[in-house]
Amino acid sequence: MQLTSFLIPEKAPLRDALLKIEANHHGFVLTTSVAGSVIGLATDGDIRRKLLEGSKLDEPVAASANAEFVWAFPGTPREILLKKLDHRIRVIPLLDANRFLVGIISRDQLPVQPEEPVYARSRAPVRISFGGGGSDLTHYFASDTGAVINTTISLYSHATLRVRDDEKIIVHSLDLGDTLSADDFEHALKQEGRFGLIQAIIKAVHPDFGFELELHSDFPMNSGLGGSAAVSAAVLGCFNQFRRDQWSLHELAELAYQAERHYLGVAGGWQDQYATVFGGFNFMEFRMDQNIVHPLRVHSDTLLELEESLVLCDTGISHDSGDIHQDQRLRMRQENVIKLVQTNVELSYRMRNQLLRGELLQFGQSLHEAWQYKRQFSGKISTPRLDSIYESALAHGAVGGKLLGAGGGGFFLFYVSTFRKHELITNLEKAGLKTRPFRFEQDGLRSWTARERKNELKIQN
């Protein structure tokens, strides 16, 4: 659209104005001052009325122009423009701060909203596992079926990603208190430091663009809550927002597993990746042909009661899950350990049924049974300090419980009998331990995009 075909000096004759209107096919012209700013609007109807009143074709168009015409700034919301066009207005000139014409809006000429820069955000919850641990290791279910039961809770890993115009890669981690900065993809993978997991994810994704990534989590590192899987899922969720062919939930879980287990080389099972991506209460079965995630339809009253009956306790002891899993893998060759894992799998089926039937006291007792099996998988899973914490919890109201994750430290989960929760929490805190409130999280990985211009605060220098 040639904007000059709408502009005419205010002293130009009516004859020229009619020629302009004939040329622009929109039925109006805009009169301009000597400086070029728009000061009025004249329609073909306005000019005809003037001529019928006796005006001559060589008289100036200014006499036919309306100085109180409707116009808008370029950034006017589309909603307002649409409402004005609904209100018997055919055209709306767009004028800048100096009243220079920068565009024309009409019912037939309403431009498509241009794409603006966006950033991606995501959050992924951690999980608490109830039973079946150890059976989600590939070297176990290569010859037998693994089965675990778990749920996600309201502690998350958060990620924010924006695409850059160059190839640079910058990663800020609040958890690590550190930043990775690289000139390009290859340089990012060669950087030495504490960003091994993020580098493994970048390698799995292989982005063809530069980006800035910010990360933080609601939980401590090496907590036994499957935190590394939550971090991986959150990062993958952000990258997925920039894909036209988005990864499915299974593909996201597999990519997270690939990054941590194969590229980073940390030993471990499969349940963490599926739990954080799918979310909610799930019963998972692991076989070599496929992994199956069964969502559990637990009655809401049962979930509320279970939520109030569980206590999450931070032992303050960090652990190396990869080292424990590696030791467990070696011990898995022993017949007695294989039988322990098989018994734990059978127990997880029983716990599933107890949960579905609302038999929570039995469920709490099964947690105790699961812990007794688990602590025999490897000599690195429990310690005298951890045994002391557990025995003290049993003496102060806990029906059962277990150490979450691989073991060796991190968080204990206790099921406490009715009316003794305060006693248990008080006892744990007297021992210098911290309890962490939580709620069950029914959603898994969540990711979305937002416009930068709409959400970014401009800093004035």
Query: Which residue numbers are catalytic?
Result: 272
Q: Is the dihedral of CA 99, 102, 108, 114 positive or negative?
A: negative
**CB of 269 closer than 8 Å to CB of 134:** yes
Q: Which strands make up the sheet holding 411-416, listed edge to edge?
A: 398-403, 411-416, 310-314, 434-435
The CA-based angle 442-247-211, given to 5 degrees, is 100
Q: Crossing angle for the helix pair 196-205 and 249-257, nearest 10 degrees?
A: 130
Strands (E) in 87-222, as ranges, are 91-95, 101-106, 118-131, 146-163, 169-173, 178-182, 211-217
Provide the terminal-to-terminal Cα distance of the chain, rounded to the nearest Å. 38
Radius of gyration of the chain (CA): 33
Of the candidates 411, 137, 130, the one whose C-alpha atom is nearest the C-alpha of residue 266 is 137
| Strand (E) or helix (H) holding 311 | strand 310-314
Please give the single-letter amino acid code of residue 112.
V
Tokens of 9: 């000096």
Q: Crossing angle for the helix pair 196-205 and 227-240, nearest 10 degrees?
A: 40
Give the CA dihedral 85, 90, 96, 98, nearest 10 degrees.
Answer: -130
Cα separation, 286 vs 292, whole angstroms: 7
Tokens of 261: 């287990």
Residue found by looking up tokens 């006499």 in the block: 63
Tokens of 153: 């809770």
